[in-house]
Amino acid sequence: MANPTHILIIPYPAQGHMIPLLDLTHHLATTRTTTPLTITILTTPKNLPILSPLLSSTTNVTPLILPFPPTPGFPPGAENTKDLPPASFRQLIPALSRLEEPLGHWFESHPSPPVVIISDFFVGWTQRFAAKMGIKRVVFSPSGGMALSVIYALWRDMPKEEDQDQNGDVLFKGLPNCPKYPWWQLSPIFRSYVEGDYNSEVIKDGFRNDMDSWGLVINTFDDLERVYLDHLISVLGHNRVWAVGPLFPPHGLKDRGGSSTVDPDTILSWLDSCRDNEVVYVSFGTQSLLTTRQIEVLAEALENSRVRFIWSVRDPSVTNELDKEGDRKIHNTVFKEFEDRVGDRGMIIKGWAPQVSILRHRAVGTFLTHCGWNSVLEGLMAGVGMLAWPMGADQYTNATLLVDELKVGVRICEGPQFVPDPCVLAQTLADSVNGEILDRQRIGKLHTSCLDAVSENGSSSKELVKFVKMLTELKTKNT
């Protein structure tokens, strides 16, 4: 048997980034190849538990555990975004680059070091490291093709705030469909760089290193974003761009998450009692935090809409005003009184929710979402209509794709501080269930395309096989 091809995986320690890359790793580990693969995945001690499902279900994946680099201003032991404030990625990304030295020692001592690094687009320093080691680096994008196209355009063209047009928008003329966004909706990392943040210089170099990398793997699929995949191929100057999504856990592996106030079986039993498509699922992901006023308005809208719903709340005792104890008390009071009023018409999940299972249940027809890319793909895979409330990062771009280009969603509001009119929102929720504002035929067609992409002979499955074959050829050429 041929010697194994050794691959090194380097994630970024945020749940929305790690989980799809771990799913990709599982698929790489279990894809049949003539040359076997052996995979090492870099992690720090506190992030090791999230690897458990992957390590227990594969035999050719091994963790490389390196201590988290000491970082001024970080709480002791903080090494993932769950432990840190939402804006901490501006310090976390540079902090992770300090793993380069211990990683270099591991390479030098390894009897058969990796021939390629696959790493998240937030760890662009790995391109420089791979070049120093004489191996290839592949970027993994947890964001879609449109969002990545916007990100690359920002760091390549470096627009300034004064470049806005008369309507206050920055135009991306070089991109398909010429998207445009107001300055406040652009990447906060990019805006920090323009405003002179020192840490963002490292981040800028990282994204430019991404564009110089040997290949790119994206969590998307051909029918969804072909025009943006072609654009990226043109910008990067090569065709080593593989669309392998939607990336989901392998069959039999349950949703990954933490503790919750509601047992998953209880949730599914409640959904079983509902009619098809009558439930609205509400979730703002693992990072977005609603203000107390936003919580009050959303609760009022859900109550007055008379729809059945599941509302996944990130934390029962934290609002966006993290330093105000009074607001936290208001938060808890709002939920208690709200739950008493709606009774069994709705369910509130405090903590982790089995989102994939909820969305795929026949009773769920609408998803009120912050438009994080994982949530978008999960919604498309489930065939639900989406109500878009983007909060930051790539979510504004994802909402543009969903609402304006694909027309499978409705934008209800935008921004982390915006407070919608509760009466208008209540009517929108009711209309979404009644089929008056969502194009179910278009949603169903895209749902079918999504399923086709990950079928045995689908576009994403074929791209994954091509990608693995290319990796094994790297081993052959370097042997």
| Residues, the chain | 479
79/68 Cα distance (integer angstroms)? 6
Given the structure tokens 């943040």, which residue do they identify? 197
Given the structure tokens 């349950």, which residue do they identify? 254
Per-residue CA distances from 286 to 43, 185, 423 (Å): 20, 19, 27
Q: What one-letter code names the amino acid at 430?
A: A
314/310 Cα distance (integer angstroms)? 13
**One-letter-per-residue 3-state SS of the chain:** CCCCEEEEEECCCCHHHHHHHHHHHHHHHHCCCCCCEEEEEEECHHHHHHHHHHHHHCCCEEEEECCCCCCCCCCCCCCCHHHCCHHHHHHHHHHHHHHHHHHHHHHHHCCCCCCEEEEECCCCHHHHHHHHHCCEEEEEECCCHHHHHHHHHHHHHCCCHHHCCCCCEEECCCCCCCCEEEHHHCCHHHHHHHCCCCHHHHHHHHHHHHHCCCEEEECCCHHHHHHHHHHHHHHHCCCCEEECCCCCCCCCCCCCCCCECCCHHHHHHHHHCCCCCCEEEEECCCCCCCCHHHHHHHHHHHHHHCCEEEEEECCCCCCCCCCCHHHHHHHHHHHHHHHHHHHHHEEEEEECCCHHHHHHCCCEEEEEECCCHHHHHHHHHHCCEEEECCCCCCHHHHHHHHHHHCCCEEECCCCCCCCCCHHHHHHHHHHHHHCCCCCHHHHHHHHHHHHHHCCCCCHHHHHHHHHHHHHHHHHHHHC
Q: Dihedral sign, CA of 397, 402, 405, 409?
A: negative
132/220 Cα distance (integer angstroms)? 30
Catalytic residue, candidates 6, 26, 120, 210: 120
Find out whether 99 and 123 touch, Cβ atoms under 8 Å: no
Residue 162: count other Cβ atoms within 10 Å of its Cβ: 6
Q: Is 212 a catalytic residue?
A: no
Catalytic residue, candidates 17, 27, 231, 370: 17
Q: Is 361 a catalytic residue?
A: no
| Catalytic residue numbers, as ranges | 17, 120
